[in-house]
Structure formats: C-alpha cells, structure tokens
Homo-oligomer: A and B are copies of this chain.
Amino acid sequence: MDIEQLDTPVPVIDLDRLEANIAGLQDYMDQHGIANRPHIKTHKVPEIARLQVETGAVGICCQKVSEAEVMVEAGLDDIFIPYNVIGQAKLERLIALAERARISVVADSDYTVRGYAQAAQRAGLEFAVRVEFDTGMHRCGVGTPEQAATLARLIAGSPGLRFEGLMTFPQNAASDDFVRETRRLLQSEGIAIGCVSYGGTPGMWEAHLRSEVTEYRAGTYVYGDRSILASGAMTPDQIAFTVITTVVSRPTDDRGILDGGSKTFSSDMSGMTGHGLILEYPEARFYAMSEEHGNVDFSECSRKPEIGERVTVIPNHCCPVSNLFDRVVAVRDGAVEVTWPVAARGTVT
C-alpha cells in the first residue's frame, strides 16, 4: 500500500530513519563504553524494542510494570523500571516478571525498599534495586548523597535485595558530583555503586562528558519531535515520526482545519509555541486544537492548502502521541512495510 492511501489521521514511522537513529545512538554509546538501555515509553512497540536490543542495547527501560509485562511477553529479557513500584498488586506482578526476566527497579524511600524486600523474600527471589536521586528535576529521587547512601545501606542490608547503583533523570554536571560524594560515603563499608544510569534524549550526545555514567537511557531519540529539534539533539532529516492529517475545512481565506486535535497530538506543549510543525507549510501556525480538530493559520504561507489536501505534522512531543494510537504504520520509500500494534499502551497501571 502506498502512503497516500492511508486514511487520516495516521502516525507514520520512517523505517530508514528509525533504524539510523537506533544505530547512531548505539554507535555513540559503544564508542564511549556506555551501556545503552533505551526507554521504550516513546514507542511502546515490542518490534522496535527488539530492534534496539539486536542493534546492541544491553536491555530496555520501561516506565510502568504494565509496559514491562508486554515487553517480557514479547521476549525482551532485561528490563529496568525506573519507578517506585508500590502496593501489593504491583509487587505481585513484579515478582511474576522477575521469574521470567532480569528486572531491576528503583527506590527513593524506605517504604519502597521495604516493599521490594518483602516481595523478594515472599517469592524467594532477588531484586536488583537502584537508588533514584534528584539533581534538578524535583520529581522523585533523594536530594542528598547522605540520603542516597542511607538508602543504599538499607538495600544492601535487606535479604532478597541487591544494591545495583544509582539512577537519575535528566543528567547534568551536578549528577557526577552527587555520584562521587555518595561513593565516598559508602566506600569504607564495601558497598559498591555498580551502575550509574543517566537518561534523556536532549542531553544524549553529552553523555561522554559525564565521568560517572555507566548506562544511558534515551527514549525519544528513536522518533524525534519538535521539542527535540529545538533542543538541538536531532536534525530535521532524522525525524522518523510524523502524523499525516487531512485539511477538512477552510472556513476563511487564512484558517484551515485539520482532522487531528488533542486526541491525535495530545495537548503537550513541551515548551513550544503551537501544536506542531506542518512540513508542507512551515510558515503555518498550528495555533489551537479541540479534541478532533486542529486550527491552523495559513496567513503567512504564499500558497494555501485546499480542502482534502493531506499535510504532515511533526508533533511537539512524540511520546504521548504514539500513546494515543492503537497502531503505527511503518513505511520505507513511501510504501507501507508493516503496521505495528502499540502493544504497551492502554494498560496504564
């Protein structure tokens, strides 16, 4: 099938670019001796995760237990979940995963560590646990090396748990200082920091500048989007994910309405102005959305689209967009090669 025959709105993956993005980051990480552990939250597609591992990734990263369940079912066998897994129901599922694959998790509190320890002992398993620390995002994560060391000691001393190292998102120069100080605090006790995992696509090409990193997690790099273009980490010819839409209305000379709104593009601004870049009309201003309509101002465009014309949009943030679709269409040279279920979406727990 030709790409022109796809009904809209439709998310399309350029396979040549996808493969080049996956190989490009792998090469860079290999060159610098950093383990590459891509985050699958961007695509949620087992076939892409397998491609990442076949290209050299040590394993994958999943943000949710439900994502890990889909990936283990698809044969992925080394998964890091950088999330405080809380509560009986999820811990039972974590045990079931750990019986089938190598699973590591994080903690930033005693509460989380105790839950892991109880679950591991109940199941007669060992969980690999990393400590999450915060060097600027102010989301999860302990705030000081002293807190990190205390938690590392608790993990190392808990039967059923193995202290695996440290993890943060995103990384910056302060991350290295944090790791060094935590190591210093633990050194005399023989508690080693085996793994230091940093992450984030915008900063991925600076990973080699961090002296402490041993593993890197990037997600968005497979597809790219408007905010990653703005960060400078990717170039327009690397964008592998677009949404094809149709102009369904031209109520005024300047205004055009696309058949994609917040249920297609999500409402994520990701620091951008407007809701996406229209490749055929780069001067157009995608200024508003409702759920199934996108409002575009074409006043700055020398040519303006007709009703029925198809236009290609680079979203602000690709991750929540792929999460809105049950399937993505992968194309090569303008022809559809395969349609992939976005298998790890919708099972939100």
Q: Contact check, A290 vs B139: say whether CB atoms are below 8 A apart.
A: yes
A258-285: CB near B (< 8 Å → 1, else 0) gives 0100111011110000000000000000
**In contact, A139 and B295 (Cβ under 8 angstroms):** yes
Known contacts A86-B307, A111-B308, A269-B267: does B143 contact A252 (CB below 8 Å)? Answer: yes
Q: Quick one: copies of this chain in the complex? A: 2
Indicate if A87 sits at the interface (CB-CB under 8 A). Answer: yes
Mostly helix, strand, loop or mixed at chain A's interface? loop
A127 → B minimal CB distance (Å): 17
User: Which residues of chain B are near A255, meaning CB under 8 Å?
Assistant: 138
A61, chain B: closest CB distance, angstroms: 12
Given A63-B291, A139-B288; 13 other pairs, CB 8 A cutoff = A41-B291, A83-B292, A84-B249, A86-B259, A134-B251, A139-B249, A139-B251, A142-B251, A262-B266, A262-B268, A323-B324, A324-B324, A346-B346
Interface residues of A (CB under 8 A from B): 5, 7-10, 41, 63-64, 83-84, 86-87, 89-90, 108-109, 111-112, 134, 138-143, 246, 248-252, 255, 257, 259, 262-264, 266-269, 288, 290-293, 295, 306-308, 319-320, 323-326, 346-349
